[in-house]
Copies of this chain bind each other. A is one copy, B any other.
């Protein structure tokens, strides 16, 4: 193996881009050269990486020419625009946006669930939606063990899903509300402090939001379960970083909560936090800054013959986005698949 890969981060100044840098450093990812890119307005920004200063550059073809892999942490439109340039310059793209996720020739990967799909990439690997990543890490082990007929999921999604601006708006709205000042929403459709907004992304079909339908479409692709029935409700909550999900699973075969707990304890990327007697269960405040999916409140779903109810939380900027992308890059690097 060489000294490492030449890695570009596109959108390095955003919430996910910044977290990617942090995670690359924490995991001591072997990098030969690191290129931090962003849009022209951000060019010149100085970032720290392993004690050294990296200057953000305005993304151009020459940067992709010099990179083996580029991790995209930008919006769908910019991702579409730039991916072509990267491919033409022989740079493999790990894209965090929605742009390519459902394209048949693009693998959509959660390393704990379908790492094998990386093998057939054609230059782009898509990083799934945050709520979907968190859900599939938790439910795939149950699916493998007992099959799944139906999944009902209600999310409790942090404002970090709307990036830095979302984080700032929750802080500002909270202060405004507490001080009795008028609250003016900009990032969200309504005030988010001390409120809940049952609407994330746009409404697409049958009165579901795209955020909700992503959980259906993407989970099916990642889990190779095209007929899996999923009923999602996605709700924004006044939490800074971690997403939580209340999930009801109807399994094909019976599975006890005890067995589910044992299986989840042995599953990659999962931490079981489940001891009601000790008030132990996942909470978003305490999972912020971590890379695992925390699962608790594992119990029989008392409304159906073969059912389980679980409660899940995970840092959406990390496992829900940046960590998952870095894990994909690690596999690409280890297998020289770039």
Contact = CB atoms under 8 A, between A and B. Distances in A.
A195 B156 CA distance: 10
B196 A279 contact: no
A159 B112 CA distance: 37
Interface in A213-270: 216, 229-231, 233, 235, 237-240, 244, 246, 248, 257
Contacts of A229: 302-304
Interface residues of A, number: 59
A299 interface: yes
A190 interface: yes
A213 to B, nearest CB: 9
A120 interface: no
Interface stretch (A79-87, A121-129, A198-206, A321-329): A198-206
A147 interface: no
Interface string A160-204: 000000000011001100100000000001110011111100010
B156 A237 contact: yes
A152 to B, nearest CB: 5
A24 B77 CA distance: 56
Nearest to A198: B311
Interface of A: 150-152, 154, 156, 170-171, 174-175, 178, 189-191, 194-199, 203, 206-208, 216, 229-231, 233, 235, 237-240, 244, 246, 248, 257, 276-277, 279, 281-286, 296-304, 307, 309, 311, 313
23 contacts: A150-B304, A152-B152, A152-B303, A171-B178, A178-B178, A189-B279, A194-B285, A196-B237, A196-B283, A196-B313, A203-B276, A206-B299, A206-B300, A207-B257, A207-B276, A207-B297, A231-B301, A231-B303, A231-B307, A231-B309, A233-B246, A235-B311, A237-B238
